[in-house]
Amino acid sequence: MNIRDKELRLHTISVLVDNESGVLARVIGLFSGRGYNISSLTVAEVDGEIRTSKITIVTRGTYQVIEQIKAQLQRLVPIHKVVDLTVDGPSVERELALIKVKGVGEKRVEALRIADIFRASVVDSSNESFVFEIIGRTQKLDAFIELMQPLGLVDISRTGIAAISRGPEAM
Amino acid sequence: MATKTLNGSQIVLRALKDQGVDVAFGLPGGVLLPFYDEIYQQNELKHILVRHEQGAMHAAEGYARANDKVGVVIVTSGPGATNTITGLVDAMMDSIPLVCITGQVPTALIGNDAFQEADTTGITRPCTKHNYLVKDVNDLARIMHEAFLVARSGRPGPVLVDIPKDIFLAEGPYVGPSKVEHKTYRPKVKGDFTDIKEAVKMMAAAKKPIFYCGGGVINSGPNASKLLTKLIKMTGYPCTLTLMGLGAFPASEKQYLGMLGMHGTYEANLAMHDCDLIINIGARFDDRVTGRLDGFSPNSKRIHVDIDPSSINKNVLVDLAIIGDAGHILEDMIKAWKSEQAIPNKKALGQWWEKIEGWRKVDSLKYKSTKKVIEPQFFLERVAALTKGKNAYFSTDVGQHQMWAAQYLPFEEPNRWLTSGGLGTMGYGLPAAMGAQVAHKDALCVCVTSEGSFMMNLQELATCVEYKLPVKVFLLYNAYLGMVRQWQEMFHGERYSASVLESHPDFVKLAEAFGMTGLMAETPDQVDDIIQQTLDIDGPVLTVAKINRTAKVFPMIPAGAAHNEIILGEKDLPDDAQNNTDAMVLT
């Protein structure tokens, strides 16, 4: 990685924060105020006792911009740690989607068959619809959604990416 | 609980006392009535009643800057809080430590559009280093102490604490500052010694080095300026300072090249352009300093010492970054310079100085004086001469007069120069001088201003009179928004769009109406006498100098130009300057 590299790259950044009021607004405000891009953002409490939350942000930028983003995040007071999962060793990324498909007859059967191939599970069904739950990398979800398109896709909810480093080390 | 309980107002006052605060600038309002009732019944905190909340902010900034302490502001909810925004951003940009206490509507009413309610923490989130809404009186003492810790440590900045009315009234425990440890906030102050040794090696190997230092040295405390001076003298290298750094290295020293940047000296800017090593201590490569980035110091290596990692590689890429407090790092640099037995390249340095002296001979701050009209540069040179040795504090507003003040007032020590650098806030000067005067009761505190800026916060003259703060205001009068006018003359075809101030008060009478002295100088021969009178009068004085209306600030690096494209004066203007409008917008 070179600071002079001008190529735009996607980075997954994991941010451990104090779960206090306004902390998400600080992070989002930093991105909008400084013109950084957000491709995906997830947040949830990870330790109820010491009240910490983890924010996973996928952002696009040159190396210089990504370094700026990390330094700016680090500067926010209620932030414990900032890790760039794209740079700091291997990591796993997962996303969950709930996908509603409406249809009858052959299309309905075809949707079920594809869901099976993708290991998506049915979490709701009616006479003319299914809701599939699918978990995987973003590309897998994208591929599944594309195949559902002609089969009566009517609604999608996606969680955005959660990510963690591989191996025994904690963040 | 064994701890004695106090009400919220008493907790805040006790926390202020334990944080060493003896002065606050403020203006009460509905939700602050319980707090002000408590203030009334004590003598430890002196409260300065300002006439506008923005005045309180800049006064606290001036106080903090002149005193190396945290400035404290107390304002009410809604409009009181929103009036602090400019001051908060100003303090954020210039790294000034402030704690701003805002009243809020009672907890039960938050979110109901109550009278004088504003989402203060929401509005001020990007304007502060950190902010808090206190929802439980049990957290109040901790939050107050955290606010001071965050404001003053690391890269200093403004912290806001929003306190609802019912929290001021509720009873809760008090904990002292020693019992408060922040969960996450750990600014790095010591620099990496291996990097510091590497820096010293780069410094010793340089043939054309220059120190480029800024407000970070001032913020590190007066000792950092002493260490900087020591290091610069040990090396024999030249030094230039940013607007915010003036006073970090004595202006009278031979190694000082003056301020750099848009209105910096010829020698400082050309040395930056030609050098082979920039040693940046506590400056942030601001666009007013660098000029066009792709033309900035094309052949140099750069060392960047900064307490804020986000300053590194933000505008200008550097070869070696050292994160930490300027004072600590300077101390280690001096140690490393000695232990590494660093010896500068005498021959190369001699040639470098020869070149610099050649540029210095151009005398880029020279100007023409006549007997008819007061030139602003002349006036400020006389102010400098007649205040010499008085250890004066100078504040400015923003615009031409600010640049002339930066160019013609020499500063020998840190914390003497109060100006709005990053945000460029017109209206900063008078309250800032007032704040400095509160910090230093018997010192000479001068505000250099011009009518465009001055009119934005002149209500604080009443505060100066009420508290007998003998601030001396020198107002360079030209009936223009001078800097806007200068750009319009130079780059916008002399179309003076909205920059002429057609109507203005009689400033002498205005001063008298406020209960203070007003003086006026109209010709150069009156200047010395008027300045001396201003200094001799016991009490605040507003002194107007009618200056050459069309005087311009030179040298000047136009926006979008590089250091070596510096314009020295009228005759030096490029022919196509007026057509080259896209590079010349006030950005």
Tell me whether residue B115 is one of the annotated catalytic residues. Answer: yes
Q: Is A75 within 8 Å of B313 when comparing Cβ atoms?
A: no
Q: Tell me, what's the pLDDT at B364? A: 96
In a domain, A1, yes or no: no
Q: Which residues of A touch B (CB under 8 A)?
A: 3-4, 18, 21-22, 25-26, 29-30, 33, 64, 67-68, 71-72, 74-80
Regarding whether A70 and A135 lie in a shared domain, the answer is: no
In angstroms, how far is CA A76 from the centroid of its own chain?
22
Q: Rounded to the nearest 10 degrees, what angle do helices B8-18 and B33-40 cross at?
A: 60
Shared-domain flag, residues A74 and A109: no
Q: Which residues are registered as beta bridge partners of A53?
A: A17, A45
CB pairs under 8 A between A and B: 49
- Closest approach of chain A CAs to the CA of B505, in angstroms? 40
Choose the catalytic residue: B483, B490, B516, B584.
Answer: B483
Q: Is residue A98 part of a domain?
A: yes
We report the CATH number of the domain holding residue A100 as: 3.30.70.1150
Q: What's the pLDDT at B570?
A: 79
Q: What residues of chain B lie within 8 A of the CB of A80, using their CB?
A: 183-184
pLDDT > 60? residue B576: no
- Min CA distance, B123 vs chain A (Å)? 11
Catalytic residue among B69, B129, B165, B472: B165
Choice between B585 and B130, residue whose per-residue pLDDT is larger: B130
Looking at the structure, tell me whether residues A29 and A72 fall in a common domain. yes
Distance from CA of A33 to the nearest CA of B (A): 8
**Are the beta carbons of B313 and A79 separated by less than 8 Å?**
no
- A80 and A15 inside one domain: yes
Q: B219-239: b or e for each residue (b if 16 or more CB lie within 10 Å)?
A: bbbeebbebbbebbeebebbb
Is A68 within 8 Å of B122 when comparing Cβ atoms?
no
What's the pLDDT at A2?
Answer: 81
What residue in A sits closest to B187 (Cα-Cα)?
A75
Number of domains within chain A: 2
Task: Please check whether residues A119 and A161 belong to one and the same domain.
Answer: yes
The C-alpha atoms of residue B154 and residue B143 are separated, in whole angstroms, by: 18
Q: Do A27 and A74 belong to one domain?
A: yes
pLDDT value of residue B254: 97
Of the pLDDT bands very low, low, confident and very high (cuts 50, 70, 90), residue B1 is: very low
Does residue B2 carry a pLDDT above 70?
Answer: no
**Which residue in chain A has the smallest CA separation from B185?**
A77
Proportion of chain B above pLDDT 90, given as a percent: 93
Boundary (domain end) residue, out of A64, A84, A104? A84
- Residue-wise pLDDT tens digits, B510-532: 999 999 999 999 999 999 999 99
Asked if the structure places residue A49 within a domain, the reply is yes
- B39 contacts B25 by C-beta, under 8 angstroms: no
Q: Kindly tell me the burial class for residue B320, based on how many C-beta atoms sit within 10 Å of its own C-beta (0-12, 13-18, 19 or more).
A: middle
Average pLDDT on B105-112 reads 97
- Is the CB of residue B125 less than 8 Å away from at least one CB of chain A? yes
Per-residue pLDDT, B573 = 63
- Chain A hits for B183, CB-CB cut-off 8 Å, are 18, 78, 80
- State the burial class of residue A21 (Cβ atoms within 10 Å of its Cβ: 0-12, 13-18, 19+): exposed
Residue of A nearest to B310 (CA): A71
pLDDT confidence of B575, banded at 50, 70, 90? low
A147-156 burial, b if ≥16 CB within 10 A, otherwise e?
Answer: bbeebbbeee
Tell me how far CA of residue B147 lies from CA of B58, B390, B400, in angstroms: 19, 35, 36
* pLDDT at B235 > cutoff 50: yes
Beta strands in B82-227 (DSSP E): 98-104, 130-133, 158-164, 171-173, 209-213
For residue B165, pLDDT over 90 is answered with yes
Q: Is B116 a catalytic residue?
A: yes
- Residue-wise burial string across A98-128, b where 16 or more C-beta atoms lie within 10 A, e elsewhere: bbbbbbeeeebebbbebbeebebeeeeeeee
Q: What is the spatial order of strands in the sheet that B98-104 belongs to?
A: B46-49, B23-27, B71-75, B98-104, B158-164, B130-133
Cβ-nearest to B121 among A18, A22, A77: A22
Mean pLDDT of B420-435: 98
Coil, strand or helix at B470: coil
Contact A77 B129 (CB under 8 A): yes
Q: What is the mean pLDDT of residues A96-107?
A: 96
A70 shares its domain with A105: no
Q: What is the mean pLDDT of chain B?
A: 95
Q: Is B315 on the interface with A (CB under 8 A)?
A: no
- Write down all domains in chain B, each with its CATH number in brackets: 5-179 (3.40.50.970), 193-361 (3.40.50.1220), 376-553 (3.40.50.970)
- The pLDDT confidence band at residue B465, using thresholds 50, 70 and 90, is very high
Check which CATH number belongs to the domain holding A46 and give it.
3.30.70.260
Domain assignment present for A2: no
Domain of residue A29 covers 9-84
Q: What are the percentages of helix, strand and coil residues in chain B, rounded to 5?
A: 45, 15, 40
Measured in angstroms, the CA of B310 and the nearest CA of chain A are apart by 5
> Of A3, A74, A79, which is closest to B317 when you measure between CB atoms?
A3
Active site residue B552: no
Which residues in chain B are contacts of A24 at CB distance < 8 A? none
Average pLDDT over residues B382-402: 97
- The residues, ordered by sequence, that sit 6+ positions from A80 with a Cβ below 8 Å of its Cβ are A16, A17, A18, A52, B183, B184
Confirm whether A4 is domain-assigned: no
Of the partner residues B131, B184, B313, the one whose CB lies closest to the CB of residue A67:
B313
Helix (H, G, I), strand (E, B) or coil at B208: coil
B385 touches chain A (CB under 8 A): no
Put simply, the answer to whether B184 touches A80 (Cβ < 8 Å) is yes
Instruction: Provide the pLDDT for residue A84.
Output: 97
pLDDT digits (tens, 9 = 90+) for B246-297: 999 999 999 999 999 999 999 999 999 999 999 999 999 999 999 999 999 9
SS (H, E, C) chain A: CCCCCCCCEEEEEEEEEECCCCHHHHHHHHHHHCCCCCCEEEEEEEECCCCEEEEEEEEEECHHHHHHHHHHHHHCCCEEEEEECCCCCCEEEEEEEEEEEECCCHHHHHHHHHHHHCCCEEEEEECCEEEEEEEECHHHHHHHHHHHHHHCEEEEEEEEEEEEECCCCCC
Q: Kindly state the average pLDDT of the residues A127-144.
A: 97
Asked if the model's pLDDT at residue B586 lies above 50, the reply is no
Residue A112 lies in a domain: yes
Is there a single domain that holds both residue A79 and residue A97? Answer: no
pLDDT digits (tens, 9 = 90+) for A3-41: 888 999 999 999 999 999 899 999 999 999 999 999 999
Q: Per-residue pLDDT averaged across B69-96, rounded?
A: 98
Residues from chain B contacting residue A26 (CB–CB below 8 Å) = 125
Tell me if chain A has a CB within 8 Å of the CB of B293.
no
Q: Identify the residue among B183, B188, B316, B323 best suited for mutation to test binding to A, counting A beta carbons within 10 A and taking the highest.
A: B183
Over 50: is that where the pLDDT of B209 sits?
yes
Query: Residue B216: what pLDDT?
Result: 97
pLDDT in tens, B296-307: 999 999 999 999
Chain A residues in contact with B126 by the CB 8 A cut-off are 29-30, 33
Is residue B161 within 8 angstroms of chain A, CB to CB? no
Q: HEC string of B427-466?
A: CCHHHHHHHHHHHCCCCCEEEEEEHHHHCCCCCHHHHHHH
In a shared domain, residues A97 and A158:
yes
Whether B92 sits among the annotated catalytic residues: the reply is no
The mean pLDDT of A121-138, rounded to a whole number, is 97
CB atoms within 10 A of CB B349: 18
Percent of chain B clearing pLDDT 70 (strictly above) = 97
pLDDT of B93 > 50? The answer is yes
Mutate to test the interface with A, among B123, B184, B306 (most CBs of A within 10 A): B184
ipTM for the whole predicted complex goes beyond 0.95: no
Domain end, chosen from A26, A57, A84, is at: A84
Question: Does residue A152 belong to any structural domain of this protein?
Answer: yes
The answer to whether residue A38 sits within a structural domain is yes
Residues A22 and A72 reside in one and the same domain = yes
B524-538: buried (b, 16+ CB within 10 Å) or exposed (e) per residue?
Answer: bebbeebbeebbeee
What digits encode the pLDDT tens for the residues B183-204?
Answer: 899 999 999 999 999 999 999 9
Contacts of B172 (CB under 8 A, 6+ apart): B5, B6, B7, B8, B11, B136, B137, B138, B140, B141
Residues A15 and A77 in one domain: yes
| Tens digit of each residue's pLDDT (9 = 90 or more) over B134-153 | 999 999 999 999 999 999 99
Which residue from A minimizes the CA distance to B307? A75
pLDDT at position B194 is 96
Facing A68 at nearest CB: one of B126, B129, B310: B310
Going by pLDDT thresholds of 50, 70 and 90, the confidence category of residue B574 is: low
B41 is catalytic: no
Query: Do both A66 and A100 map to the same domain?
Result: no
Whether the per-residue pLDDT at B4 is higher than 90: the answer is: no
Of A62, A84, A106, the residue at which a domain comes to its end is A84
